Amino acid sequence: MKNIADHLFDIFENSVNAAADEVIIRIAFSDNIFYCSISDNGIGIAGDEVLDPFVTSRTTRKVGLGLPLLKKAAEDTGGYLRIKRINQDGGTNLEFEMNMSHIDAKPFGDLPQTFTDIYFAWPEIDLKIYIINDCKKDKVLDFYEIREDERKGLSNSIKNRRKILSIMQEEMKKLNIE
Protein backbone atom coordinates (compact mmCIF):
# COMPACT_ATOMS: atom_id res chain seq x y z
CA MET A 1 0.00 0.00 0.00
CA LYS A 2 1.80 3.07 -1.24
CA ASN A 3 -0.79 5.68 -0.42
CA ILE A 4 -4.09 6.49 1.24
CA ALA A 5 -6.01 5.97 -2.00
CA ASP A 6 -4.86 2.32 -2.01
CA HIS A 7 -5.84 1.88 1.63
CA LEU A 8 -9.27 3.36 1.05
CA PHE A 9 -9.96 1.02 -1.85
CA ASP A 10 -8.70 -1.90 0.20
CA ILE A 11 -10.87 -1.33 3.26
CA PHE A 12 -13.85 -0.63 1.02
CA GLU A 13 -13.61 -4.24 -0.04
CA ASN A 14 -14.27 -5.28 3.58
CA SER A 15 -17.70 -3.66 3.34
CA VAL A 16 -18.35 -5.51 0.10
CA ASN A 17 -17.39 -8.81 1.71
CA ALA A 18 -19.71 -8.05 4.62
CA ALA A 19 -22.61 -8.14 2.14
CA ALA A 20 -23.26 -4.40 2.36
CA ASP A 21 -25.22 -2.71 -0.40
CA GLU A 22 -24.94 0.83 0.85
CA VAL A 23 -21.76 2.52 1.99
CA ILE A 24 -21.33 6.10 3.18
CA ILE A 25 -17.91 7.74 3.11
CA ARG A 26 -17.32 11.05 4.90
CA ILE A 27 -14.15 12.99 4.31
CA ALA A 28 -12.70 16.08 5.97
CA PHE A 29 -9.34 17.77 5.72
CA SER A 30 -8.29 20.81 7.69
CA ASP A 31 -5.17 21.93 9.54
CA ASN A 32 -3.31 19.01 7.97
CA ILE A 33 -5.60 16.49 9.68
CA PHE A 34 -7.26 14.06 7.30
CA TYR A 35 -10.42 12.46 8.66
CA CYS A 36 -12.31 9.68 6.98
CA SER A 37 -15.33 7.70 8.12
CA ILE A 38 -16.79 4.69 6.33
CA SER A 39 -20.18 3.27 7.35
CA ASP A 40 -21.82 0.27 5.77
CA ASN A 41 -24.96 -1.78 6.27
CA GLY A 42 -23.20 -5.14 6.11
CA ILE A 43 -23.30 -7.98 8.63
CA GLY A 44 -21.16 -6.12 11.18
CA ILE A 45 -18.12 -7.23 13.16
CA ALA A 46 -18.02 -9.28 16.35
CA GLY A 47 -15.33 -7.33 18.18
CA ASP A 48 -11.87 -5.83 17.99
CA GLU A 49 -10.25 -9.00 16.67
CA VAL A 50 -10.46 -7.64 13.10
CA LEU A 51 -7.44 -5.50 13.95
CA ASP A 52 -5.39 -8.63 14.66
CA PRO A 53 -3.51 -9.56 11.46
CA PHE A 54 -3.80 -13.25 12.25
CA VAL A 55 -7.57 -13.26 12.39
CA THR A 56 -9.52 -13.46 9.15
CA SER A 57 -12.83 -14.85 7.98
CA ARG A 58 -11.36 -15.65 4.61
CA THR A 59 -10.48 -19.19 3.60
CA THR A 60 -8.03 -18.46 0.80
CA ARG A 61 -5.21 -17.40 3.15
CA LYS A 62 -4.66 -17.19 6.86
CA VAL A 63 -3.74 -13.56 7.46
CA GLY A 64 -5.80 -10.40 7.04
CA LEU A 65 -3.65 -7.33 6.64
CA GLY A 66 -5.92 -4.62 5.28
CA LEU A 67 -7.11 -3.11 8.56
CA PRO A 68 -3.91 -3.63 10.60
CA LEU A 69 -1.89 -1.91 7.86
CA LEU A 70 -4.17 1.12 7.79
CA LYS A 71 -4.20 1.25 11.61
CA LYS A 72 -0.41 1.30 11.60
CA ALA A 73 -0.32 3.98 8.89
CA ALA A 74 -2.70 6.16 10.92
CA GLU A 75 -0.95 5.64 14.25
CA ASP A 76 2.47 6.30 12.73
CA THR A 77 1.36 9.90 12.20
CA GLY A 78 -0.10 10.27 15.70
CA GLY A 79 -3.62 9.54 14.44
CA TYR A 80 -6.00 6.71 15.24
CA LEU A 81 -8.28 4.09 13.72
CA ARG A 82 -11.50 2.96 15.36
CA ILE A 83 -13.95 0.36 14.19
CA LYS A 84 -17.29 -0.48 15.73
CA ARG A 85 -20.56 -2.25 15.11
CA ILE A 86 -23.35 0.23 14.44
CA ASN A 87 -26.22 -1.73 16.01
CA GLN A 88 -27.42 -5.24 16.84
CA ASP A 89 -28.56 -5.95 13.29
CA GLY A 90 -25.10 -5.24 11.95
CA GLY A 91 -23.48 -2.41 10.07
CA THR A 92 -19.92 -1.29 10.65
CA ASN A 93 -18.46 2.14 11.14
CA LEU A 94 -14.77 2.72 10.67
CA GLU A 95 -13.06 6.03 11.18
CA PHE A 96 -9.47 7.12 11.06
CA GLU A 97 -7.50 10.29 11.35
CA MET A 98 -4.03 11.06 10.03
CA ASN A 99 -1.75 13.99 10.51
CA MET A 100 -0.61 14.67 6.96
CA SER A 101 2.19 17.03 8.03
CA HIS A 102 3.87 14.21 9.98
CA ILE A 103 7.07 12.94 8.43
CA ASP A 104 5.75 9.37 8.40
CA ALA A 105 2.48 10.27 6.69
CA LYS A 106 1.80 8.44 3.45
CA PRO A 107 0.88 10.55 0.42
CA PHE A 108 -2.78 10.84 -0.55
CA GLY A 109 -2.35 9.19 -3.92
CA ASP A 110 -5.07 9.59 -6.52
CA LEU A 111 -8.24 9.72 -4.39
CA PRO A 112 -10.64 10.70 -7.22
CA GLN A 113 -9.43 7.66 -9.16
CA THR A 114 -10.22 5.44 -6.18
CA PHE A 115 -13.88 6.40 -6.38
CA THR A 116 -14.18 5.62 -10.08
CA ASP A 117 -12.44 2.31 -9.40
CA ILE A 118 -15.03 1.52 -6.74
CA TYR A 119 -17.82 2.44 -9.18
CA PHE A 120 -16.58 -0.12 -11.69
CA ALA A 121 -15.30 -2.80 -9.35
CA TRP A 122 -18.53 -3.28 -7.41
CA PRO A 123 -21.58 -2.37 -9.50
CA GLU A 124 -23.97 -3.62 -6.82
CA ILE A 125 -22.83 -1.16 -4.13
CA ASP A 126 -24.47 2.23 -3.68
CA LEU A 127 -21.81 4.57 -2.39
CA LYS A 128 -22.57 8.01 -1.06
CA ILE A 129 -19.74 10.46 -0.52
CA TYR A 130 -19.99 13.39 1.87
CA ILE A 131 -17.48 16.17 2.35
CA ILE A 132 -17.38 17.81 5.76
CA ASN A 133 -16.25 21.42 5.62
CA ASP A 134 -16.73 24.15 8.24
CA CYS A 135 -19.19 21.98 10.20
CA LYS A 136 -21.29 21.58 7.05
CA LYS A 137 -21.89 18.21 5.47
CA ASP A 138 -22.42 18.12 1.72
CA LYS A 139 -23.32 15.10 -0.32
CA VAL A 140 -21.16 15.33 -3.42
CA LEU A 141 -21.75 11.97 -5.05
CA ASP A 142 -24.43 9.32 -4.99
CA PHE A 143 -23.66 6.23 -7.05
CA TYR A 144 -27.31 5.18 -6.99
CA GLU A 145 -28.34 8.34 -8.87
CA ILE A 146 -25.48 7.98 -11.34
CA ARG A 147 -26.36 4.35 -12.07
CA GLU A 148 -30.01 5.30 -12.43
CA ASP A 149 -29.03 7.53 -15.38
CA GLU A 150 -27.19 4.58 -16.86
CA ARG A 151 -30.21 2.29 -16.43
CA LYS A 152 -32.50 4.83 -18.06
CA GLY A 153 -30.07 5.15 -20.95
CA LEU A 154 -29.36 8.83 -20.24
CA SER A 155 -25.69 8.11 -19.77
CA ASN A 156 -23.18 5.32 -20.14
CA SER A 157 -20.38 3.95 -18.01
CA ILE A 158 -17.63 5.78 -19.90
CA LYS A 159 -19.36 9.15 -19.49
CA ASN A 160 -20.04 8.38 -15.83
CA ARG A 161 -16.41 7.50 -15.25
CA ARG A 162 -15.41 10.97 -16.44
CA LYS A 163 -18.21 12.56 -14.41
CA ILE A 164 -17.18 10.93 -11.12
CA LEU A 165 -13.56 11.78 -11.78
CA SER A 166 -14.25 15.45 -12.48
CA ILE A 167 -16.61 15.89 -9.50
CA MET A 168 -14.14 14.33 -7.10
CA GLN A 169 -11.15 16.21 -8.55
CA GLU A 170 -13.07 19.43 -7.98
CA GLU A 171 -13.96 18.50 -4.40
CA MET A 172 -10.43 17.40 -3.53
CA LYS A 173 -9.10 20.66 -4.93
CA LYS A 174 -11.50 22.60 -2.70
CA LEU A 175 -10.17 20.69 0.30
CA ASN A 176 -6.55 21.23 -0.78
CA ILE A 177 -5.95 17.51 -1.07
CA GLU A 178 -3.38 16.65 -3.70
Chain residues binding other proteins by CB under 8 A are 1-2, 6, 9-10, 13, 17, 58, 60-61, 64-66, 69, 113-114, 117, 120-123, 158, 161
Q: How far is the CB of 11 from other proteins (least distance, A)?
A: 9
Q: How far is the CB of 37 from other proteins (least distance, A)?
A: 20
Q: How far is the CB of 172 from other proteins (least distance, A)?
A: 17
**Residue (107 or 123) nearer to other proteins, CB:** 123
**Residue (29 or 119) nearer to other proteins, CB:** 119
Contact between residue 82 and residue 14 where contact means Cβ atoms under 8 Å apart: no
**Residue (101 or 156) nearer to other proteins, CB:** 156
> CA dihedral defined by 51, 56, 60, 65, rounded to 10 degrees?
10
> Long-range contacts for 50-59 (Cβ within 8 Å, ≥24 apart)?
50/83, 51/81, 51/83, 57/17
Q: How far is the CB of 21 from other proteins (least distance, A)?
A: 15
- Chain centroid offset of residue 10 CA: 8
**Residue (59 or 87) nearer to other proteins, CB:** 59
Rounded (10°) angle between helices 157-174 and 143-152 = 150
Contact between residue 38 and residue 12 where contact means Cβ atoms under 8 Å apart: yes
**Residue (42 or 64) nearer to other proteins, CB:** 64
Cβ neighbours of residue 124 closer than 8 Å, sequence gap 6 or more: 21
Q: How far is the CB of 121 from other proteins (least distance, A)?
A: 3
